[in-house]
Amino acid sequence: MSFPNAVSSRRAMPASYYTETAHPAPPRPPLRGDTQVDAVVVGGGMTGCSAALHLAERGLSVRLLEEHGIGFGASGRSGGQLIAGFGGGLDAARAHLSAGEMQDYWNLGTEAVSQVTDRIARHGIACDFVPGHVDVALKARHVRELEAMAEDWTARGYPGLELWGGARTRERVASERYVGALYDPGGGHLHPLNFTLGLAAAAEAAGAVLHEGTPMVTFEDTPQGVVVRTPEGTVRTRWLLLAGNAYLWRTVPAIGRRIMPVGTYIIATEPLGAARAQGLIPGNEAVSDCNFVLNYFRRSADHRMLFGGRVSYSRVEPLNVAEAMRRTMLTVFPDLSASRVDFAWGGYVAITVNRLPHFGRLGRRVLFAQGFSGHGVGLTSLAGALMAEVVAGQEERFDLMARIRHMPFPGGAKLRTPLLVAAMMLHRVRDWL
């Protein structure tokens, strides 16, 4: 797998605005030899680092295994948008949950946001966090969808939402494309790689041991515990937490069939200067549009425009990410036509069929959480907390999330990607209508 600007080191991430502005982090040596711990976490992104932190804070011995480097996957490459709720809405959950459970499920989707802001404050994580998220409408149908969403969220007790008309929207997002918006003061945006590195440092301070350059080769769930094998060592553990998301689907096909890794891409312009950047998004909110195949954007701390989208469901990388994304950006902000693009990068996120996160077990003591479908900044932190609760003997909240049944992507190993591409073309057509 490669992406634009990819560097050769196995542990290094593709060069991006985030890697260029990341805080220094110590190298973590690979696991070598045999050891025994209370819990093993596989995956060094937000989910895995959150799980390791919550487990270590409970006094458990923890080893985290990351094949590349901390934050290598979507956690270090994403749009950094903190969004309440779930990517698929709530309709898909209603078939599996009672009315009371639906409210509890919704509450977890909003707790996901507070988990992030709580960790930032508690551990002093410097990740450029800014509150505020805006969903923008491109057409009347989107406005109706946002009105229904605001009514539903408010009825469930979610505070502070504001519906904006066209004029107000264009005051807050300087583009003629949008005809309305829904503002959520509880969301926000952050530097995702620095947030992940901050979680990792907090986990180590609490006693967790992190290993980079350490892929999980196999695991075996035995009556005596779980045995995890790596290229240079073995860990025996009471619990195994799988947190690899889009980068673990081939290693563990039992759960990989229920997610699909899709490519998404981001550019960062040159610094625009404070006044010019503020003119584009005066309130400095994170912004995403209402299309199924959506665009998302925000200002950076040093006054760049970070603009993302152009999802690749075929996992075939665009020939020129920078130019393709620049053309899309100019449909929103044509005044940036003379602005240089300094960085372009991409990575995989994992989606599920119903766009709800996939929680579950493989045996009694092997837990997993994956498929956050665009809401990963918040839901990953929640996932780590809920898996740690199970290890501590509190299973109810994790089991509520796991009650949502997930279909495998149709078509099997050979046809599921072509079938998904065809299905997504229908959604693209609907976006155009």
**For residues 299 and 126, what is the distance between their CA atoms, to the nearest angstrom?**
16
Within a domain: residue 246? no
Residue 308 belongs to domain with CATH number: 3.30.9.10
Q: Is the pLDDT of residue 5 over 70?
A: no
- Residue numbers of the domain that contains 173: 129-186+261-350
The secondary element (H helix, E strand) that includes residue 264 is strand 260-269
Residue 115 resides in a domain: no
Q: pLDDT at residue 379 above 80?
A: yes
114 phi/psi in degrees, rounded to 5:
-70, -30
Beta partners for 40?
Answer: 63, 240
Confidence of residue 426 (pLDDT cuts 50, 70, 90): very low
Residue 139 lies inside a defined structural domain of this protein: yes
Residue 282 domain flag = yes
pLDDT of residue 320: 84
For the stretch 272-287, pLDDT in tens is 999 999 999 999 999 9
The dihedrals phi and psi of 10, each to the nearest 5 degrees, come to -60, -30
Q: What are the tens digits of pLDDT across the range 232-246?
A: 999 999 999 999 998
Look at residue 329 and tell me if it is in a domain. yes
In a domain, 175, yes or no: yes
For the stretch 85-127, pLDDT in tens is 998 778 889 989 999 999 999 999 999 999 999 999 999 999 9
- pLDDT of amino acid 414: 54
Residue 47 has pLDDT above 80, yes or no: yes
Q: Residue 430's pLDDT is what?
A: 53
For 160-192, write each residue's pLDDT tens digit: 999 999 999 999 999 999 999 999 999 999 999
pLDDT tens-digit map of 303-341: 999 999 866 654 556 668 899 899 999 999 999 999 999
**Which residues are CB-contacts of 169 (< 8 A; sequence separation ≥ 6)?**
136, 137, 178, 179, 180, 181
Query: What's the pLDDT at 4?
Result: 31
Residue 152 pLDDT level (bands cut at 50, 70, 90): very high
Report the pLDDT value the prediction gives residue 408, as an integer from 0 to 100: 86
Provide the number of structural domains found in the chain.
1
CB atoms within 10 A of CB 244: 28
- What counts of helices (H) and strands (E) characterise the chain? 13, 17
| 381 domain residue, yes or no | no
- Number of residues that make up the chain: 433
| Helix, strand, coil percent content, the chain, rounded in steps of 5 | 35, 25, 40
Average pLDDT value over all residues in the chain: 90
Domain assignment of residue 26, yes or no: no
Helix axes 192-205, 376-391, angle to 10 degrees: 20
Confidence bin at 8 (pLDDT 50/70/90)? very low
**Three-state secondary-structure class, residue 360:** strand
